[in-house]
Amino acid sequence: MKKMLEKIEKDTGKKYSAFDKVYSVDSERRIKNIFIGLLSSGLIILFIPWTQNINTTGVVTTQFQEQRPQQINSIIPGKVVKWWVKEGDFVQKGDTIVELADTKDDYLDPRLIERTEDQVNAKKQKVDFYLSKIGNAKSQITALEEGYRLKELSIKNKIQQLERKILIDSAELTAAKIDLEIGTSQINRANKLLNDGIISLTDFEKRTQTFNKAKASFQEKQQKYLNAKQDIQIARIELNGFKQEYADKIFKLKGDIDNANSERSSVVADVAKNENQLSNYKIRGSQKWLIAPQTGQIIKAKKAGINEMVKEGEMIVEIVPKAFLYAVELFVKPMDLALLNIGQDVRLQFDGYPAIVFSGWPNSSYGTFAGKISAIESNRNENGKFRVLIVPEVSEKNWPSNLKIGTGAQGFALLKNVPIWYEFWRQLNGFPPDFYTVEIKGKEQKTNEK
């Protein structure tokens, strides 16, 4: 080529500089050096550390159940009377959201609570009546016990007097019996003496008169003694009869008390039932107004207009809490679940926030946020994946303050650091990332690798 160029220049007598620019016939070739440099750089790159990771997606949520969007359901069946808010409004805790009206016949009476209170008061008065009846019966029992005590004491005193009288009558009867025995002996002797003619008829009649007096006295004492014994028996019968009468009266009064207690218990049960019903009516009346359980935004109104019917337990609106602690739920494939542990580092990228991500070099990424695994569910969801909950890492920069629940997120669970050549080899062969566990002790991490 060089000889041809020289011939052309000789024939034409001109020197063409374009040939010098097009053909580098005199230049030194450096292809070998470039190839060696590239090969060396490639070998060096193969030994650069690469962080293995599990890449998955999820959404922003919160760690606490009460801070998640929640339904506001109707406690009672009824119809919509008035809406106090509209979708998108922010409400404070305790604000009225919607007013309902009852539609059941049992609750349509406008004076329902007042009439139920009257029933409760009437039942309470009946309870007081039975209490008074029981008190009167107990007072009667007390009076009967006092009367019985006095009467019993009187009859016992009478029996003691009769017993002492019997002792006296018994002594008199014994004396009269002795007198009768003596008189009998004397009359027998007098009769013999009269027959023998020793005494006169007049003396005999005198001795007969004395005998008759002794005999009459004995009979009198004997009858008196028997009457006294009969009086004691009558007094004891009277005491037993009085005891029986007292027992009958006490038994009847105690029966009245038991009946009154039974009736009172029944009325007390009715009072409790009516008070429970009254309380239910009052609470049911307060359930006509659906109140915001916490501060937040009203969304997803299911009922559109006035007089629209709602069922018991039916969702009317949904409220999103205004303040909540951020978390991210990621969904991991079953084959990657064994690689995750509580406390493991995760890098997050949120939708709407620009980021430059190098998954293998997390420290070189821009726009990602740090998190840690706080919980791993043990049951698969309907998509066949496991739910993992991520919370912010407090030692690094805070997550965006205006994140909303439901915002999309992409997570990179950081695993073991390996050379790039090893990662190429692993992915080329379809091997999973290296299995390892992380133990958190204070601020230290200890990695056990297999």
What per-residue confidence (pLDDT) applies to 429?
Answer: 66
Q: Which helix (H) or strand (E) holds 332?
A: strand 326-332
pTM above 0.85, yes or no: no
Q: Are 57 and 410 in contact (CB under 8 A)?
A: yes
CATH number at residue 297: 2.40.50.100
Shared domain check, 336 and 307: no
Alpha carbon of residue 449 to chain centroid = 47
Shared domain check, 116 and 32: no
What per-residue confidence (pLDDT) applies to 174?
Answer: 85
CATH number at residue 183: 1.10.287.1490
List the domain range (segments joined by +) for residue 360: 49-67+324-449
At 223-255, the pLDDT tens digits run 888 888 888 888 888 888 888 888 888 888 888
- Domain assignment present for residue 89? The answer is yes
The angle, 0 to 180 degrees and rounded to 10, between the axes of the packed helices 112-196 and 201-286 is 170
Shared domain check, 83 and 60: no
Q: What whole-number distance in Å separates Cα of residue 398 and Cα of residue 401?
A: 8
Q: What whole-number distance in Å separates Cα of residue 203 and Cα of residue 189?
A: 12
Percent of the chain with pLDDT over 90: 1
- Domain assignment present for residue 101? The answer is no
Q: What whole-number distance in Å separates Cα of residue 39 and Cα of residue 436?
A: 33
Closest CA to 324 of 266, 404, 251: 404
Shared domain check, 368 and 311: no
At 294-339, the pLDDT tens digits run 888 888 888 877 888 888 888 888 888 887 888 999 998 887 777 7
- Domain assignment present for residue 232? The answer is yes
Give the residue from 259, 282, 305 where a domain finishes: 282
For residue 432, how many other CB atoms are within 10 A of its CB? 13
User: Exposure string (b/e) for 10-21, b if CB count within 10 Å is 16 or more?
Assistant: eeeeeeeeeeee
Shared domain check, 251 and 350: no
Q: Which residue has the tokens 């559109």?
A: 304
Shared domain check, 417 and 307: no
Give the residue from 262, 282, 302 where a domain finishes: 282
Shared domain check, 238 and 215: yes
Shared domain check, 126 and 257: yes
Shared domain check, 7 and 56: no
Q: Would you state the structure tokens that stand for residue 27, as one six-digit string?
A: 């230049």
Q: What whole-number distance in Å separates Cα of residue 18 and Cα of residue 117?
A: 115
Helix residue ranges, H only, 287-337: 334-337
- Domain assignment present for residue 118? The answer is yes
Per-residue pLDDT of the chain (450 residues; tens, 9 = 90+): 556 656 666 666 555 555 555 555 444 556 777 777 788 777 777 766 766 667 788 999 888 888 888 888 888 888 888 888 888 889 998 888 888 888 777 777 777 788 888 888 888 888 888 888 888 888 888 888 888 888 888 888 888 888 888 888 888 888 888 887 887 887 787 788 777 777 777 777 787 888 888 888 888 888 888 888 888 888 888 888 888 888 888 888 888 888 888 888 888 888 888 888 888 878 777 778 888 888 888 888 888 778 888 888 888 888 888 878 889 999 988 877 777 888 888 888 888 887 666 555 566 666 688 888 888 888 888 788 898 999 998 888 888 888 888 889 888 877 666 677 766 676 676 666 665 454 444 444 444 433
Helix residue ranges, H only, 287-330: none
Phi-psi region of 88 (alpha: psi -120 to 50; beta: other; left: phi over 0): left
User: 161 Cβ partners below 8 Å, 6+ apart?
Assistant: none
User: What is the four-CA torsion angle of 107, 111, 113, 117, rounded to 10 degrees?
Assistant: -140
Closest CA to 350 of 414, 415, 297, 412: 412
What per-residue confidence (pLDDT) applies to 29?
Answer: 56
- Domain assignment present for residue 308? The answer is yes
Shared domain check, 201 and 300: no
- Domain assignment present for residue 82? The answer is yes
At 79-90, the pLDDT tens digits run 888 888 888 889
- Strands 444-449 and 369-380: what pairing? unpaired
- Domain assignment present for residue 106? The answer is no
Split into its structural domains, the chain has a count of 4
Shared domain check, 171 and 192: yes
N-terminal to C-terminal alpha carbon distance within the chain = 65
CATH number at residue 372: 2.40.30.170
Q: What whole-number distance in Å separates Cα of residue 319 and Cα of residue 449?
A: 46
What per-residue confidence (pLDDT) applies to 185?
Answer: 82
What per-residue confidence (pLDDT) applies to 431?
Answer: 60
User: What is the four-CA torsion angle of 108, 110, 114, 115, rounded to 10 degrees?
Assistant: -50
How long a stretch of residues is the chain? 450
Shared domain check, 400 and 301: no
- Domain assignment present for residue 107? The answer is no
